[in-house]
Amino acid sequence: MTTPPPRPTPTELAAAQDRTIPDVTGPGLRVLFCGINPGLWSGATGHHFARPGNRFWPALHRSGFTPRQLAPHEQDQLPALGLGITNVVARASAKADELSREELRAGGEALRERVAGLRPRVLAVLGIGAYRTAFGQPKAVIGRQAERLGDTEVWALPNPSGLNAHYTLDALADEFRTLREAVER
């Protein structure tokens, strides 16, 4: 296990506004997880789902995708497990509601292109509202979607942000587990 980076200072967090961070990908991905956009903690650290209180990493482990709970700074271990991370919109912001509908739709188009190149087995968009807007599916619900991107299945899962009070960590892990079990079948 590597040493975690220091907590970003308020100045570093402010400077992270609109910063982009690299995707975590590799060949032969089983699942490409797709956040809405990086938060300021992620922008400041360069690690996805980095804000304390974000439940992505615990849900990923509790659902059985990882053998132990990884920390954001260990994200580079994901491709060896057949997992990757990207975002609908690349730029960091304090809150996802700072993104415009046009930005989400453009992000959806760019995401289609990334998926065409990477060809993961599944694209899992983490945030039903972002999925609905980015993919023009206003009535979509959590779970497997009818739409496919080439050979890639598309799933919509709950946003793991600690701000999403609609889902407990256990409920979030259950949704991730449903996806993992479908991928393993």
User: Which CATH number do you get for residue 76?
Assistant: 3.40.470.10
Residue 154's Cβ-count burial label (10 Å; 0-12, 13-18, 19+) is buried
Q: Whose CA is closest to 41, among 77, 74, 22, 15?
A: 15
- Per-residue model confidence (pLDDT) at position 4: 79
Rounded to two decimals, the pTM is 0.96
**What domain range includes position 120?**
10-16+25-184
- How, if at all, do strands 143-149 and 31-35 pair? unpaired
Residue 86 lies in a domain: yes
Asked whether residue 5 is domain-assigned, the answer is no
Please classify residue 72 by burial: count the beta carbons closer than 10 Å to its beta carbon, then call 0-12 exposed, 13-18 middle and 19+ buried: buried
Which residues of the chain fall below pLDDT 70? 1
Let me know if residue 1 belongs to a domain: no
* Domains identified in the chain, total number: 1
Helix (H) or strand (E) holding 85: strand 83-87
- Within-domain flag for 91: yes
**pLDDT for the residue numbered 1:** 60
Q: Provide the residue type at 74 as one letter.
A: E
Query: Taking the CA of residue 144 as centre, how many other CA atoms within 13 Å lie in the half-sphere pointing to its CB?
Result: 13
